[in-house]
Amino acid sequence: MWMIEGELLMDPEKPTGLVLLNMGGPDSVEAVEPFLYRLFSDRELIQLPLGALLQKPFARLISHFRAKHVRENYRQIGGCSPLLRWTSLQAQGIARQLGESCRPYVAMRYSSPTAEQVVKRMKADGIESAVVLSMYPHYTGATTGSSLNDFRRAARKFYPELAFLVIEQWYDWPGYLDALTARVREGLEKFPQEVRQEVQLVFSAHALPQKFIDRGDPYYEHVMATVYGVEERLGGQPWHVGFQSRSGPVAWMKPDTLEVIERLATEGRQALLMVPISFVSDHIETLHEIDIEMREHALQCGVRYFERTPSLNDADDFLLGLAELVNHYLERHS
């Protein structure tokens, strides 16, 4: 889905902005608690009890008590989130494919650079038109919706003259599916030849509270469309789907990825390949939750071989695919 806001005039003689939207992450262990506070304060992502008036006091309390554990997780992966680095490299790589007149920017929802900072920078740079690309392939109002609303608010307040084209979902884009399939094939090569055909693919997406699905968010359908698209390209490899990163006393999407791992181990499946599909770059959910926590859990359950596909990060095929995505929508506009 895409939309145009303002009078978008693509002049090859003038620079065009390319803005990638992502969640963000702490740039140090000291930044963990402020990051968590901003995240828990967002009612589009998490609606804490007792209404909007008490959202921020609850957010401050929860972030304070969770920070110690989360800081330790970040210490184990190097002391900070790599998400800004990867998203910046993705923006630069896509912009190179689009041509010299394309200027890359990154706007994070819960850390710097913020949408406000990016909008002000584009105004100072003389950017009059831009393409805004969500780095969440699968749409939900909790992530893509919140990031886009944040960018729109910043644009209205600080640069109302900015015209921009929004690309808010690309779960079935062929370039994305091709790149993801290539990473699965690379992951399968990590296994001994004699067990490769028996490897169980475990597609793991970030979980949402079930109420988001019940209200009509297409996230689950988008995730499954991605899985089917990859499987169609692979052909024949046994696969399963789970949802990770659940926390808090609410009803979540099912099944939990840990429960999928436990079931496969109980069935005697000895080789699992984790395929993170709602994440297009390495961050805490891949580097710690899958690589450390899920690996330990799987081995304790009796799994013998446990691997993860390489993340898309700044892979050439992935960035080329997203550049083609942007060009596709620009051509539809012209």
Question: What residues are labeled active site?
Answer: 23, 39, 45, 109-110, 206, 282, 285, 289
DSSP annotation string for 170-228: -TT-HHHHHHHHHHHHHHHTTS-GGGGGGPEEEEEEE--BHHHHHTT--HHHHHHHHHH
CA distance 94 to 101: 12
- Residue with token string 């990051």: 35
Q: Strands 163-167 and 239-244: what pairing?
A: unpaired
**Sheet architecture: strand order including 271-276:** 239-244, 200-206, 271-276, 305-308
The encoded tokens of residue 66 equal 């969770």
The encoded tokens of residue 188 equal 């399968």
**Sheet architecture: strand order including 102-108:** 2-5, 163-167, 129-134, 16-22, 102-108
End-to-end CA distance of the chain: 17
